Amino acid sequence: MADTGTLTRADLAEILNRQIGLSRADAAAMIESILDHMTTAVLDGENVKISGFGTFVLRDKGQRIGRNPKTGVEVPITPRRVLTFRASQGMRQKVK
Amino acid sequence: MIRSELIKKLEAENPELTTEEVEKILDLFFDQIIQRLADGGRVELRGFGAFSTRDRSPRKGRNPRTGAAVDVPSKRVPYFKPGKEVRERLNK
């Protein structure tokens, strides 16, 4: 039956342990390593493109005026860099 | 960075694994994320971010070439929210 709970690092490590035969420690380290490499690339300002999955793209947002939703007071939102994800066509097809 | 570059980095760190094994590991990693979203669940990777899905309402679209109105059905799309740590470090 399909599991609709939250998938975590531990679940991913467990799958590598069962399906690849990595030890639990190696599987956990591998998951960490994959995420570390992707995070480092993004923090270095690189886009990360994983075919069949999607692309993590950095976008620079200019300054704009926001509003404190509670008080209605206008406050400037400083220019910032944000990380967005664009899912591949294949992923969109499977998720829809 | 593209997938093949990620594979190279992982290979360099794990000389005991073959290229095929590293490829299989990455395929599993990304396929599991997609599968969980397809099953209606979410994926939480602390420090990196969380994948979930968003429902899009049906809407009237237009064929950009002919201008004809078309119904765009409701759909579910993948969504990624970067982790707090990543968001903060991007703006240091």
Residues A29 and A64 in one domain: no
Residues A8 and A38 in one domain: yes
Q: Which domain holds residue A39?
A: 1-44
Residues A86 and A71 in one domain: yes
What's B14's DSSP letter?
A: -
pLDDT band, residue B92 (cuts 50/70/90):
confident
Mean pLDDT taken over chain A? 94
Burial class (CB in 10 A: 0-12, 13-18, 19+), B34: buried
pLDDT band, residue A2 (cuts 50/70/90):
confident
Chain B environment of A60 (Cβ under 8 Å): none
Residues A53 and A76 in one domain: yes
Contact call for A34 and B79, based on CB within 8 A:
no
Residue pointed to by tokens 């400083």: A78
Total domains present in chain A: 2
The reported pTM is 0.90
Q: Taking residues A35-55, what's their average pLDDT?
A: 96
Residues A79 and A35 in one domain: no
Chain B environment of A22 (Cβ under 8 Å): 25
Cα distance between the two ends of chain B:
22
Q: Taking residues B28-39, what's their average pLDDT?
A: 97
Q: In terms of DSSP bridges, do strands B42-45 and A6-7 run parallel, antiparallel, or are they unpaired?
A: parallel
Query: Range with the lowest mean pLDDT among A31-35, A77-81, B4-8, B33-37?
Result: A77-81
CATH superfamily of B44-91: IHF-like DNA-binding proteins (4.10.520.10)
Delimit the domains of chain B by residue range.
Answer: 1-39, 44-91
ipTM > 0.85 for the complex = yes
**DSSP secondary structure letters along B15-38:** TTS-HHHHHHHHHHHHHHHHHHHH
Residue B75 in contact with partner chain A when CB distance is under 8 A = yes
Is residue A96 scored above 90 in pLDDT?
Answer: no
Chain A environment of B43 (Cβ under 8 Å): 6-8
Task: Please tell me the predicted confidence (pLDDT) of residue A88.
Answer: 97
- Euclidean distance between CA atoms B43 and A6, whole angstroms: 5
Residues A25 and A68 in one domain: no
Residues A34 and A55 in one domain: no
